Amino acid sequence: MQILLANAKIMFPAEKVTAKAWSQPRFQAVASVLAREMAQLDVEELARQLDCSPRIAAENKLRYANFDFARPVPAVMAYNGQAYKHLRAASLGHEALVYGQEHLWITCFLYGLLRPMDAIVPYRMEHCVRLEATGDKPVSQFWRDRLTGVLIDSVKADDGILVHLSTAEYEHLFDWNRVKREVKVIQPMFCVSKLGNLKVQAVWAKSCRGAMTRFILEQRPALPAALCAFEHEGFVFDPGLGGETHPYFVREDA
C-alpha cells in the first residue's frame, strides 16, 4: 500500500537535523523555479500571499533567497508539526525508512510530492499562492496535472491501495475524483466520543495520522484489515462504525 501524509508548516532549523538525505525530490526543478520567484516578492506581498505576519514573511523571504544554498535534510525529519511529533521519524529504524521510501508520499505545495528521505530545505508555501510560474493559478491547481498520474501510477504499481492520512486541503493537489476512481482509497477516521457524541478534534486527528504512519512503516501490513490493530493514546478501532474504506478509531472521553 501507498500512504499519503501532509507536510507541516512548522519546520526544524536544518542544524537541528543530523540525518542525511538519501534522494532528490522528484520535482526539485519545479520547486526551484517557484522558490526563485518567491524570493523576488517583497515582504508585504509575501505576507499577503502566505497569509502570515510580516515577521514570518521576512523569515521566509530569507529562506527563499537562500533556497539553493541551504543545507538540505530528509523531508520526514524536517517537519515539526503535530503529526510529525507522533511519527517520531528520527527514531525509526533503517528498515522502516527504506520501506517508507517505497510507500510513503508527503504532500507539499512547494515540492509537490516527496518521499520521506528526499532532501529539502526550510520553506513556507500555501495552496492559494499565485505566481507567474504557475500561470497565475493557485499553486494547488498548478500541481494537479503534474501529480495526479504520478500518485495513481505509484499506487497501481504497488497493490492498488492508498491510505489517505493527509488532509482535505491537499486533495486539491490532485484530480481527487480520478484518484478515487482508479485506486482504492482507505481514509481512517479518528474521533473522540463524549457522552455518545463523536467529534473529530484536529489535534488528535493529526497526532493519530502521524502515529498510524509510523505503525505502517514499522509493521508493513499486507492488507488494509491489518490497520485495525492500530492503537494510540486511547484510540482503538470500532468495528461498529464506518466501513472498509473509512475505518473508525475512537477514543472515549469521560
Instruction: Please give the model's pTM, rounded to 2 decimal places.
Output: 0.95
> H helices then E strands: how many in the chain?
10, 11
pLDDT mean over 13-28: 95
CA distances from 55 to 7, 49, 59, 186, 210 (A): 22, 14, 6, 39, 29
Q: What is the pLDDT of residues 217-239, one digit of tens each?
A: 999 999 999 999 999 999 999 99
pLDDT of residue 150 exceeding 90, the answer is yes
Q: In the block, which residue shows the cell 513556507?
A: 124
Residue 106, H or E segment: strand 104-108
CB-based contact 32:123 (threshold 8 Å): no
Q: Residue 247: beta bridge partners?
A: 242
CB-based contact 182:208 (threshold 8 Å): no
Note the pLDDT of residue 99. 98
CA distance 65 to 40: 8
Which long-range CB contacts under 8 A does 86-91 form with residues at least 24 apart?
A: 86/206, 86/207, 86/208, 86/210, 86/211, 86/214, 86/232, 87/5, 87/210, 87/211, 87/213, 87/214, 88/210, 88/214, 89/116, 89/214, 90/17, 90/19
Q: What is the pLDDT of residues 61-79, one digit of tens each?
A: 999 999 999 999 999 999 9
CA distance 155 to 200: 27
Instruction: Tell me the domain boundaries of the chain.
Output: 2-25+74-252
CB-based contact 165:209 (threshold 8 Å): yes
Q: How many other CB atoms are found less than 10 A from the CB of residue 184?
A: 15
Q: How many other CB atoms are found less than 10 A from the CB of residue 107?
A: 25
Residue 194, H or E segment: strand 189-194
CA distances from 230 to 52, 97, 177, 211, 254 (A): 36, 19, 28, 9, 22
pLDDT mean over 165-180: 96
Confidence of residue 250 (pLDDT cuts 50, 70, 90): very high
CA distances from 122 to 19, 136, 220 (A): 15, 24, 30
CB-based contact 17:89 (threshold 8 Å): no
Residue type, 188: P
